[in-house]
């Protein structure tokens, strides 16, 4: 695993901009980048990043079109462990470190997560520790009417991990850690609930989101933690 990226803490003092560099392999182009009916492909992600940063607002920089998504070379494999993903990011990351910039690198790969040497076909995305690297697994996200929302909700969930939720660098104001399932929220309605990492349960969660119209997916406890962490 790569060392922590000192510039991947969006709550750090002096941060003015949260920047997302997004790269994709052939066949793994983000669904929302080309099919968003609103013309704002990352709207759900942006709303939720801004909600977490409400205590200390920052500029949020995201690609505005498919043309702004960088190419990832086809690695010639279908399975990626954490080390392979870090190596891929190291090879392709273009955003230089800056003292006022929190940078996150999102890799859309045409393959699956390799966990302890075993392919896991239920992992939609992963956040790799403190590296600022998020990987999205296109074959698991799939296609269909809800896939654009599954993709965005997965990004919101993994950004929550990358930003330090739940008790993963950001302290909790009130206890809401699901200790049995690692750094996840114990509220089933929160995007950080552990089952929302799997494709079946996340699709059920997304269906509830679509019908409710509530675009902020973090619950009050996660938002309170983020607000308390803001300088």
The domain total for the chain is 1
Secondary element (H or E) of residue 60: strand 59-61
Domain of 27 in residue numbering reads as: 17-165
Domain membership of residue 174 (yes or no) is: no
- The verdict on whether omega for the bond into residue 65 sits within 30 degrees of 0, i.e. cis, is no
Residue 32 clears pLDDT 80, i.e. is over it: no
Q: Please report whether residue 35 resides in a domain.
A: yes
Per-residue pLDDT band at 211 (split at 50, 70, 90): confident
Where does residue 227 rank: exposed (0-12), middle (13-18), buried (19+ CB within 10 A)?
Answer: middle
| Residue 229: predicted pLDDT | 96
Task: Give me the CATH number covering residue 77.
Answer: 3.40.390
Say whether pTM exceeds 0.75: yes
Cβ atoms of 93 and 105 within 8 Å: the answer is: yes
209 — pLDDT class (breaks 50, 70, 90)? confident
Which tens digits make up the pLDDT trace of 152-200?
A: 999 999 999 999 999 999 999 999 999 999 999 999 999 999 999 889 8
């Amino acid at each position: 695993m790569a060392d922590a990226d000192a510039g991947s803490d969006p709550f750090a003092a002096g941060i003015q901009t949260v920047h997302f560099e997004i790269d994709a392999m052939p066949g793994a182009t983000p669904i929302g980048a080309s099919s968003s009916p609103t013309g704002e492909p990352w709207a759900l992600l942006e709303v939720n990043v801004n909600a977490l940063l409400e205590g200390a607002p920052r500029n949020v920089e995201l690609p505005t079109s498919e043309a702004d998504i960088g190419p990832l070379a086809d690695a010639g494999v279908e399975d990626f462990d954490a080390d392979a993903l870090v190596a891929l990011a190291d090879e392709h990351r273009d955003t230089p470190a800056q003292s006022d910039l929190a940078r996150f690198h999102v890799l859309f790969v045409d393959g699956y997560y390799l966990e302890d040497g075993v392919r896991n076909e239920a992992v939609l995305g992963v956040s790799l520790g403190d590296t600022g690297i998020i990987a999205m697994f296109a074959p698991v996200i799939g296609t269909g009417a809800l896939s654009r929302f599954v993709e965005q909700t997965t990004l919101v969930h993994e950004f929550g991990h990358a930003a330090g939720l739940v008790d993963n660098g950001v302290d909790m104001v009130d206890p809401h850690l699901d200790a049995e399932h690692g750094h996840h929220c114990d509220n089933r309605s929160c995007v950080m609930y552990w089952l929302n990492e799997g494709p079946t349960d996340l699709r059920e969660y997304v269906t509830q989101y679509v019908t409710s119209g509530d675009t902020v997916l973090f619950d009050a406890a996660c938002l309170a933690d983020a607000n308390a962490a803001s300088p």
